[in-house]
Structure 1
Amino acid sequence: MEKVSSQWVPHHFSKERSIKDAINTYKLASYCGALKKEKHIILAGICLRIASLYRIKQNKEQEERFLKFTLKEYEASYSTGDFSSTQASEARILYLAGEISRRIGNEKTAIKYFSFVFERQKNAREASIIQMARDRFQELKRT
């Protein structure tokens, strides 16, 4: 109540939203999620959506900013294991961390995460994620 409601300016988010409205909605969700100490996996998903919206707007600076937030949350989710009660798998978390690291220009970290994916391949149902990680790993090793 103190952190959100006391500062609230009435908005209506139930109609079709512009990209700007969508960004503001997700930012509000991120802020509220952080206040209530939501799982890192949830916060990562919200930040990734914000980054995607900035990508659509071709705002590279803000896209990268939110990709960095996303990466931080995926790393925290992986280290705390808070993703285990969700549909996200270890392989998916590691792949996304690698892909985001690659996108923000941190190739060494990306290679590390991609290699973790196929080192820990326990689950055959995630063959596509393992293959994507191998492909990205090979691309980065060639550069």
Structure 2
Amino acid sequence: MNKYHNEQGAALVMTLLFITVLILLLLGQFYQVTNTAGQVSTMEKSIEARHMADMGIDYYQQMVASKREILEEVAEDSGFQGVKSAIEELNNTETLNSEMGSGNKSFEIEQITIEQTSDDEITIQFNSKGMASEKEINEESEIIISILRQ
């Protein structure tokens, strides 16, 4: 029996096998990095949209708060219907949406309802829609106005 001790070409096979395994590992890492980058991008858009919705809530709350004295005067003179009309007029005259930066981020206040929850309380419920790139987030909020009668 002759044993073959000719190992010429074994280095080539080992090198090709090593390179194939290395390429498979690198492709796996590349896929993982691209997938993670896509997830991070989606999360950033969601966070930006939520921040824009929160900004819309803060904007509308401050807008109503800045007119508080006027609303209290109207409440004393005309009651709930007068306050409701004043708030509706405020909604029609004030800007209830805003764009930031290059126009791919914005908020919009919509679905505003005004209810009298008790003799001395008025509740304004509204929806703030935040938009960033293609992502939209809707957040509901409310403002409770206490009317102090003298």
Into which bin does the TM-score normalised by the smaller protein fall? under 0.3
TM-score when normalising by structure 2: 0.24
* TM-score for both structures, normalised by structure 1: 0.25
Tell me: higher relative CO, structure 1 or 2? Use CA pairs within 8 A at least 6 residues apart.
2
Identify the structure with the greater helix proportion. 1
Structure with the higher strand share, 1 or 2: 2
